[in-house]
Structure 1
């Protein structure tokens, strides 16, 4: 018998979301049903509602979540009922060319649940990032469940499911920030501040936070930024160079996802430095750079997919650091809300008033 639960639905482009009854099937082979305990309100969910990802409406929103496994299907060995898990949107297959070369964080065959969750009239739902977690219970592929210590509160643990992991991983995994490096982070929302935190954790000697909002710059200082630059008041490239002895930063992390801020990142790095793009652009955006500058400056231009994380490796380790008091993930939680307050949370996020609103169930 399917589970009958309440979930947050986006029915059409730009329409306010609604809380509706959703039918969640019993898990089939390789699937799990998870009772969601908390789910962060991520900007990607707003992108879905605005039609910025695709037009497969209606969407079941939410993806940055933690919960408890309630049931598993045939052949599932990764998790069992009662396990406390963080949901991830890149279930590693283990068999594709990336996995077989020992690079599972690049898995090219990640997968989701095979069955569909539906509305009561049978309309199939498209779950955000293959998860759909603004809901009391959700159906996912078992590989999308990563077991972690139940001592971590779900409103904190769930944040590793997307934005915070993306930022931490952009610094730690993609950018390979190490002791003594200088780092600049352009864009200081949730992902950018997580990159600041990651750079601090890695031992960067100077971390420069760049934004146009002084409130966000204050948040960045709280996560470990040593210097801040208001890009609305001064040229960020010149400011970053001035703060790094005229050379530019060793690693520049672009957490906005726009051509103009990417160019700033490109020219704000030192020779042979690294640019990491973790901000998500829209399909229409294009970038133009002089090819001679790309050649002459050397270094590396990287894109960070989900912080190049491997959930089975990174989630438990980061939760352990949180429990040891070494990784203040709780600072990202601006407020906790109910399912019926997601639309209001979108508005506050759009205005830059919160780092993360978190739905608790």
Structure 2
């Protein structure tokens, strides 16, 4: 029978995110019904609100979530009711050209639930990143549920952030940037994703980790998560500062977690010859960057984009949860505040002011 639950919806471009009643069907073949426990407030959700991702309103927001499976549809064998899961937006299909090449981390045809959740008047909802987790329950494809060992309730808020932002940042360093022991890394932009990239660089064994931001508060948090040096970009040229801190050469890996034309240009020129630039921030679709082709050729190396930290959730989420349990990855440091489901719109404002790494909605 259908389930009526509270959820956060945005009905039109730039409309406020409001708490609404929605209808969720029982899971069909290949689907799972999940009780949401926690969900982080990510800038991607606000991108949906602003129309920067699509125009398929109304959107059911939220995607950085932990939950507990309550029901499964026909043919589902990977999870069972009662399992604790982190939701992911890369449920690999195993059949697209990336999967067939043995690169499921780039799956081009990830699965989502087939059935639609709706408003009470029957209007179909488009769930953010195929998840829609600012809700008491949500319906997803079973492959979007990454099974983890049961954790203490107080840890759920931190662990859920692996579902998007923290995984994107850590993966940008480890998977995409392929940071190696002893290398130097610079991260431009120290919000949630950038600070996670710093934590990832530390896990990978980088010995020089340079955090760049305009906000001294974010630089303080970056030091807590592993930065060895900080650069306040408002008073110092980031390119010159990064070069000075790396013997005049530039960093082996520079990660742009802001995704503006000016920060990408800084990343390009702040890397060493044959170094790697990784773009992990999500740019405005209207922006473009211009670089002299002779510089692209002459500097060598690689210019890479990081999709979801190039992660494979079934491989990476459990590993990072284990590191958290071993006190080798401080996920708690990313949780700035815990809020209610009806406070998401306020959390967007707090996020825009730079006051948090993550606000996390607690539901279950």
Tell me, yes or no, whether TM beats 0.5. Answer: yes
Q: 1:208-287 residue pairs with structure 2 within 5 A?
A: 208-287=210-289
Rounded to whole Å, the distance in 1 between the matches of 2:17 and 2:179 is: 39
Rounded to whole Å, the distance in 2 between the matches of 1:118 and 1:271 is: 52
How far the C-alpha of 1:108 sits from its partner, in A, is: 1.2
How far the C-alpha of 1:102 sits from its partner, in A, is: 1.1
How far the C-alpha of 1:77 sits from its partner, in A, is: 1.1
Rounded to whole Å, the distance in 2 between the matches of 1:293 and 1:285 is: 21
How far the C-alpha of 1:208 sits from its partner, in A, is: 0.4
Verify: 1:62 aligned to 2:65, yes or no: no
Rounded to whole Å, the distance in 1 between the matches of 2:249 and 2:236 is: 18
Task: Point out the more displaced range, 96-105 or 27-36.
Answer: 96-105
Rounded to whole Å, the distance in 2 between the matches of 1:189 and 1:149 is: 28
Q: Equivalent residue of 1:353, what SS? A: coil
Residue-by-residue CA offset, 1:63-111 (whole Å, 9 max, x unaligned): 0000000100011111111110000011101111211211110111112
How far the C-alpha of 1:51 sits from its partner, in A, is: 1.0
Q: 1:1-361 residue pairs with structure 2 within 5 A?
A: 1-151=1-151, 153-361=155-363
Rounded to whole Å, the distance in 2 between the matches of 1:13 and 1:218 is: 35
Rounded to whole Å, the distance in 1 between the matches of 2:49 and 2:150 is: 32
How far the C-alpha of 1:33 sits from its partner, in A, is: 0.5
How far the C-alpha of 1:151 sits from its partner, in A, is: 1.7
Rounded to whole Å, the distance in 1 between the matches of 2:321 and 2:3 is: 30
Q: Equivalent residue of 1:307, what SS? A: helix
Rounded to whole Å, the distance in 2 between the matches of 1:210 and 1:156 is: 24
How far the C-alpha of 1:48 sits from its partner, in A, is: 0.6
Rounded to whole Å, the distance in 2 between the matches of 1:10 and 1:61 is: 7
Rounded to whole Å, the distance in 1 between the matches of 2:110 and 2:223 is: 36
Rounded to whole Å, the distance in 2 between the matches of 1:306 and 1:81 is: 27
How far the C-alpha of 1:309 sits from its partner, in A, is: 0.2
Rounded to whole Å, the distance in 1 between the matches of 2:333 and 2:219 is: 14
Q: Equivalent residue of 1:28, what SS? A: coil
How far the C-alpha of 1:271 sits from its partner, in A, is: 0.3
Normalised TM-score (structure 1): 0.99
Residue-by-residue CA offset, 1:153-207 (whole Å, 9 max, x unaligned): 2211110000000000000100011110000000000000000000011110100
Coordinate RMSD, CA, aligned: 0.7
Rounded to whole Å, the distance in 1 between the matches of 2:32 and 2:75 is: 11
Rounded to whole Å, the distance in 1 between the matches of 2:342 and 2:108 is: 36
Unaligned runs of 5+ in 2: none
Rounded to whole Å, the distance in 2 between the matches of 1:186 and 1:150 is: 35
Q: Equivalent residue of 1:114, what SS? A: coil
Normalised TM-score (structure 2): 0.98
Rounded to whole Å, the distance in 1 between the matches of 2:17 and 2:97 is: 39
How far the C-alpha of 1:241 sits from its partner, in A, is: 0.2
Matched residues, number: 361
Residue-by-residue CA offset, 1:94-133 (whole Å, 9 max, x unaligned): 1112112111101111121000000110011110000000
